[in-house]
Amino acid sequence: MSEVVAGPGGLPAAAVVARATTPAGEIALRRRGEIVELIVNGVFAMDSSEVTSEIALADAAGPAPGRVLVGGLGLGYTAARLLDNGVRRLDVVELAEPLIDWAVAGITGQLERVAHDPRVQLHHGDIAEWLPRRTELFDAILLDVDNGPGFLIHDRNARVYAADWLRTAAERLSPNGLLAIWSEDAAPELGRALAGLGILTETVIEVEREGRRFGYALYLLRRTAPAG
Ligand SMILES: C[S@@+](CC[C@H](N)C(=O)[O-])C[C@H]1O[C@@H](n2cnc3c(N)ncnc32)[C@H](O)[C@@H]1O
């Protein structure tokens, strides 16, 4: 059940806008002035003040991408950018069901836009289990469900950084499709797990937040088209 403490607008700093308990822990949205913060499993996951890498994740799929799967709705920055980039069809899988309900109800303008765009389908589920059950192919699969293998918000998300799951994900890509994974830090073990599944590129995105510098990593795996 969602606990909506107060609506956006006229709130004191870091006011809780919405909070709910889920089987995977508490999820909350807070508002600090103009900034929206997302708390996942009781841990600060992201805010709206610095979203360069969320947008870079979407841009990795290229202009006018075909069918794209995003793991983790969050505040909807990656999804909204894909819409701006002209995506043809977008599936978003989100573990926290209340976040989907809040998006549909329009808790932020951006989440409302994503939830109501006819190209988008929001799915409640765990991407670790959802994707292996699918048979269709995606032109891009973009994963931003956790901080990366080195610092997990949900222990169970270790599965999506494991070699066998990544192989399954790569098999769900269309020829020349892209699997892109966001990580808070360089994660050599993730690079090793992806090695051999396609053409691998690692990009570091330097950002500054509250006077501190961070080097977020994007792992980009391009599936090579089968010979012949
Ligand atoms: C950092 S946020 C994603 C941010 C998003 N890229 C954006 O642009 O706003 C991570 C999201 O993934 C969700 N999540 C965590 N584990 C998941 C899983 N196993 N499957 C699907 N969603 C998951 C969290 O609830 C959260 O909404």
Give the rounded distance of the alpha carbon of 215 from its chain centre.
18
CATH number, position 214: 3.40.50.150
Ligand 1 within 6 A of CB of 71 = yes
Instruction: Say if 116 falls within a structural domain.
Output: yes
Residue 144: half-sphere exposure toward Cβ, Cα within 13 Å: 25
Distance 224 CA to ligand 1 centre (A): 27
Instruction: Say if 228 falls within a structural domain.
Output: no
Is pTM, for the whole model, over 0.75? yes
pLDDT band at 8 (very low <50, low <70, confident <90, very high): very low
Q: Which domain holds residue 173?
A: 49-222
Ligand 1 within 6 A of CB of 161 = no
- At 11 the pLDDT is 45
pLDDT digits (tens, 9 = 90+) for 94-113: 999 999 999 999 999 999 99
Number of other CB atoms surrounding residue 213 within 10 Å: 8
Instruction: Say if 63 falls within a structural domain.
Output: yes
Instruction: Say if 146 falls within a structural domain.
Output: yes
Tokens of 208: 């500054």
Distance 55 CA to ligand 1 centre (A): 14
pLDDT digits (tens, 9 = 90+) for 139-192: 999 999 999 998 899 999 999 999 999 999 999 999 999 999 999 999 999 999
Instruction: Say if 64 falls within a structural domain.
Output: yes
Distance 45 CA to ligand 1 centre (A): 9
Instruction: Say if 112 falls within a structural domain.
Output: yes
Instruction: Say if 2 falls within a structural domain.
Output: no
Residue nearest to atom 5 of ligand 1 (CA): 74
Q: What percent of the chain has pLDDT over 90?
A: 88
Instruction: Say if 14 falls within a structural domain.
Output: no
Which residues of 23-165 form beta strands (DSSP E)?
25-32, 35-40, 43-47, 67-71, 89-94, 120-124, 138-143
- At 5 the pLDDT is 47
Ligand 1 within 6 A of CB of 91 = no
Distance 115 CA to ligand 1 centre (A): 15
> Considering its fold, how many domains does the chain have in total?
1
